[in-house]
Chains A and B, each alone.
Chain A
Amino acid sequence: MNKGRLARYSLWQFRDFAIDRGIAIVIIGFLWGYVTFEPMRRAMGPAWTGDQRSPIWGIAIQFTSAIVSLSVLIAMNGITSLDRKNGYYRFLFAQPVNPVLYYAQLFLVYMVGVLLSMLILASLLHIILPAFSIVYFLMYVALIYIAMGGIGFFLSTATRYDWLSLAAVWLGSRILRGIFGPKHDWKSKLVELLPPVHRVDDVANSLIGSGTANTNDVLWLLGYGLLFFVLGLVILRRGSLAD
């Protein structure tokens, strides 16, 4: 019964995603892509081949990887904290609904939303870069959504400043791993506890380019994200729904 009514409500959740976040993601992605690629396409003229040997390819990987991170950030912004901050949880959870299932479903619905938004953008990019595989790209999107989104979900349940803290954790991990990297001192060991963001670039290059990636890297990213997603659910189960 609980699952049935939640499944019916997923259509409303998807509608919210589309209106509040999906449209913004597509518009930002399109404009960003346009100002990135169109001047180069014009400048290169017939030299623009759109295959993986083109110098554009590396830029395309970096661009799409950044758009994915940004869209996950937008998707996770306030995913649970918004209801707490604004008091919307009161009427939502006066209904016979389990908040853990409600937000777990919301996380999945937003994942579908992010994938569809990325599908639209990837389809546009595929027109000017035929070697760009939409399927491989969507595999990468799903991986990053779970890896980064899982941490974002946790931060949204644990703090009020979720998008800010997610951006800080994601970028901070990248910087700290760059500074303290693979050494054998205690700082390096401590940095190992941070999200495995240093593996994202390699995964992006191989997964978007060829549809394959180092299994170890993929498992690290998936495992880290899923762990924090589950921790977020535990907080929802054990903690107060109010701020």
Chain B
Amino acid sequence: MEIDGSPARHYVERNGIGYLSELVAIPPRWRAETALVRYATLAGISDAEITQRVGFVIELLGLEEHRDKKVKALSKGNLQRLGLAQALLRDDKILVLDEPTHGLDPLWTQRFRDIVDNLRRPDRTILIASHNLDELQRLADRVAIIDRGRLQRLVSTGYEQTAPAQTRFRIAIASGHDLFRSAFPHAEETGRDEYDVTVHSLQELNALLGDLIGKGVIIASVVPERSVLEQQFREAVGES
């Protein structure tokens, strides 16, 4: 494997990468802040900048109240955030994040997505390994589907290319149920004001919904039965 024309190991030795492993392994007796100072020292951040940089990632990952705690005293979620803080110490061009939201609570999962969004830059590559397709759909531009150790498919998460595959949607209605049922006579009511509908194309769906909105129907949400990525994944691994 090569990065930027060099064997991966040589590249990392020369340039370093931002890396978060699935299992965050930091010596348990190190304190959270000390661990970051150590990694920052190894990363070549100058003594003058270390305090500022470590302070920045601690604040970014919400670790202020845990900075003096030993690693062994951190919860799984906090340890995961410490691992992520470590990965963000340097302004690396390559970030490899392995199951980055593993162990994070919903609030921090959302914050993590915001952090990754802010890390986007034209000259930066962020590689996320995850089994969470919804997360990848939200974060990634392209998704490589690997099954049994082999690359099966490279999928763009943009809707233009993959949308025709979507035929079943769950639509939630806030008001105008009668009008909705007349527009979608085959809709299956699932309860809680939601219906499963089948259409032939997005154009058809949009036309029908546009007509309903024009008549005053309030639509709360439209969600594909399977996300674009999930559908691609199932096809790639032969489970469609």
Which residues in B have their C-beta under 8 angstroms from that of A93? 12-13
Give the secondary structure class of A's interface.
Answer: helix
- In chain B, what residue has the closest Cβ to A4? B44
Within 8 A of B (CB), among A1-17: 1-2, 4-6, 8-9, 12
**Cβ of A98 and Cβ of B13 under 8 Å apart?**
yes
A103–chain B nearest beta-carbon distance, Å:
13
- For residue A96, CB closer than 8 A to chain B, the reply is yes
- For residue A94, CB closer than 8 A to chain B, the reply is yes
Asked whether A12 and B41 contact (CB < 8 A) given A88-B25, A95-B16, the answer is: yes
Within 8 A of A (CB), among B105-157: none
Which residues in A have their C-beta under 8 angstroms from that of B43? 5, 95-96
Chain B proximity mask over A84-118: 1 for CB below 8 Å, otherwise 0: 00111011111111110000000000000000000
Chain B proximity mask over A61-94: 1 for CB below 8 Å, otherwise 0: 0000000000000000000000000111011111
Q: Which of B16, B19, B27 makes the CB contact (< 8 A) with A86?
A: B27
Counted as pairs of residues, one from A and one from B, with CB atoms less than 8 Å apart, the total is: 61
Chain A proximity mask over B1-25: 1 for CB below 8 Å, otherwise 0: 0000000000011111111010101
Q: Which of A5, A86, A90, A94 makes the CB contact (< 8 A) with B41?
A: A5
**Cβ of A96 and Cβ of B15 under 8 Å apart?**
yes
- For residue B101, CB closer than 8 A to chain A, the reply is no
**Cβ of A94 and Cβ of B44 under 8 Å apart?**
no
Chain A proximity mask over B81-92: 1 for CB below 8 Å, otherwise 0: 001001100100
- For residue B26, CB closer than 8 A to chain A, the reply is yes
A95–B87 alpha-carbon span in the complex (Å):
9
**Cβ of A87 and Cβ of B21 under 8 Å apart?**
yes
**Cβ of A94 and Cβ of B25 under 8 Å apart?**
no
**Cβ of B25 and Cβ of A5 under 8 Å apart?**
no
- The count of residues in chain A whose C-beta lies closer than 8 Å to any C-beta of chain B is 21
**Cβ of B42 and Cβ of A9 under 8 Å apart?**
yes
A9–B41 alpha-carbon span in the complex (Å):
6
Within 8 A of A (CB), among B148-199: none
B54–chain A nearest beta-carbon distance, Å:
14
A70–B18 alpha-carbon span in the complex (Å):
40
- For residue B234, CB closer than 8 A to chain A, the reply is no
- For residue B38, CB closer than 8 A to chain A, the reply is yes
Which residues in B have their C-beta under 8 angstroms from that of A6? 42
Chain B proximity mask over A25-61: 1 for CB below 8 Å, otherwise 0: 0000000000000000000000000000000000000
Q: Which 5 A-B pairs have the closest CB atoms?
A: A87-B25, A94-B19, A96-B16, A95-B42, A5-B44
List 9 A–B pairs whose Cβ atoms lie within 8 Å, in order of A's numbering. A4-B44, A9-B38, A9-B42, A12-B38, A87-B21, A90-B21, A91-B26, A95-B16, A95-B44
18 A-B pairs besides A91-B25, A91-B39 with CB distance below 8 A are A5-B41, A5-B43, A6-B42, A9-B42, A86-B27, A87-B21, A87-B23, A88-B26, A90-B19, A92-B39, A94-B18, A94-B87, A95-B42, A95-B44, A95-B90, A97-B13, A97-B16, A98-B13
A interface residues with partner B (beta carbon < 8 Å): 1-2, 4-6, 8-9, 12, 86-88, 90-99
